[in-house]
Amino acid sequence: MHYLENTGLNAYTSEKTSSAFPALLVLTPIFKEMKTYFITGGAGFIGGNFILNLMNSGQAKVINYDKLTYAGNLDTLSSIEGETGYTFVQGDICDREKLTKLFETHEIDYIVHFAAESHVDRSIDTPGDFIQTNVVGTFELLEAAKKYVESKKLTGKESFRFLHVSTDEVYGSLGETGLFREETPYAPNSPYAASKASSDHLVRAYYKTYGLPVLTTNCSNNYGPYQFPEKLLPLMIYNALKGEPLPIYGDGKQVRDWLFVEDHCKAILQVLEKGKVGEDYNIGGHNEITNLEVVKTLCEVLDELVPDSRFRPHENLIQHVTDRPGHDRRYAIDASKIQNQLGWKPQESFETGLRKTVKWYLENNDWVERVMSGAYRGERLGLEKP
């Protein structure tokens, strides 16, 4: 177990330096009293960044509950290990009994549910894992939360929130125009997206049926420090530095909206603190870019920041490969609801966020090598045909 001290966050930030993440932006909560956050999947990419920001605010207590699968890495949280107010518990969200005991032991103000299998390619190979974690796991967590609220006689209006973190992939694929809105019908096309859509529906049902005070966020593609190198940007950085091919699926013209992870963390806290119970909020970065443009821009940044690389220009490493089965063509988020109602908007452009991301990976190569020392070594996944 590790212990640390922290508080909630808000959209307002102040600068603070962390050894793990230089010039880490600290999210400052609007609540006056110390709150306790139960974070599932806190050793993962977004959850880890969220916890680091919370703990560096000095105003939150955090219980990090993570199964530590291949993508869960406590190295991400080494800078806060041992701090008062931080507790790590290894556990599975499918273990309702363990969750229930933890909720009985701790006075929980907020559950923030990040834990999920999240890689589309892996969902093509092993869809059952995604159903078990994302659907069954969310159900077990909801049941434990419902029991906790009932046992504590919480009204849900002031004292407790369950925030479910989801994805824009539940909406399916857009054409050349249009944006995903909170009212967009669900049309998932991959096992991953279908499993997240299912969990979204369960969360809604527990609000409508049992009155559980829930909030749901659906975000666009995240990027930034501590992302496991199976996702596009960290994998491209990892390969480029080694002079290995940079695989682009199909023609590379699939469009994604890119959201810097710190902007996402601020948005989550803003929803948690100010959002209306039972509502959904879409979170996007206002950065619609094709995958090919993303990788080319990344190569340009690497050319600049690693001028002595013998693989310059890194763009020469790009290789087009067979497209992903059922690959969605375009995602784009309309984030006007969270901006107009809660006052959040992204602070990073893709260019500024990408530069920060590349610099972090260049300065933290030891972290990358450690997380890549397991079974996954950057190989292609998800080639099973439907």
Catalytic residue check, 192: yes
Whether the CB-CB separation of 218 and 143 falls below 8 Å is answered with no
Of 320, 345, 326, nearest to 334 (Cα)? 345
Catalytic residue (choose from 140, 168, 200, 348)? 168
Whether the CB-CB separation of 208 and 157 falls below 8 Å is answered with no
The 8 Å CB, 24+ separation contacts for 153-161 are 156/211, 156/212, 156/213, 156/277, 157/213, 157/277, 159/109, 160/108, 160/109, 160/110, 160/213, 161/109, 161/110, 161/111, 161/213, 161/214, 161/215, 161/272, 161/277
CA-based R_g, the chain, Å: 20
Catalytic residue (choose from 169, 200, 262, 328)? 169
Catalytic residue (choose from 192, 226, 249, 281)? 192
Catalytic residue check, 121: no
Of 44, 71, 52, 20, nearest to 374 (Cα)? 71
Whether the CB-CB separation of 138 and 190 falls below 8 Å is answered with no
The 8 Å CB, 24+ separation contacts for 270-273 are 270/10, 270/11, 270/338, 270/342, 270/343, 270/344, 271/163, 271/215, 271/217, 271/338, 271/342, 271/344, 272/8, 272/110, 272/112, 272/161, 272/163, 272/215, 273/8, 273/9, 273/10, 273/29, 273/30, 273/31
| Percentage helix, strand, coil for the chain under 3-state DSSP, each rounded to 5 | 40, 20, 40
The residue written with tokens 């966050």 in the block is 9
Number of neighbouring beta carbons within 10 Å of residue 377: 9
Catalytic residue check, 83: no
Q: Which residues are the active-site residues?
A: 168-169, 192
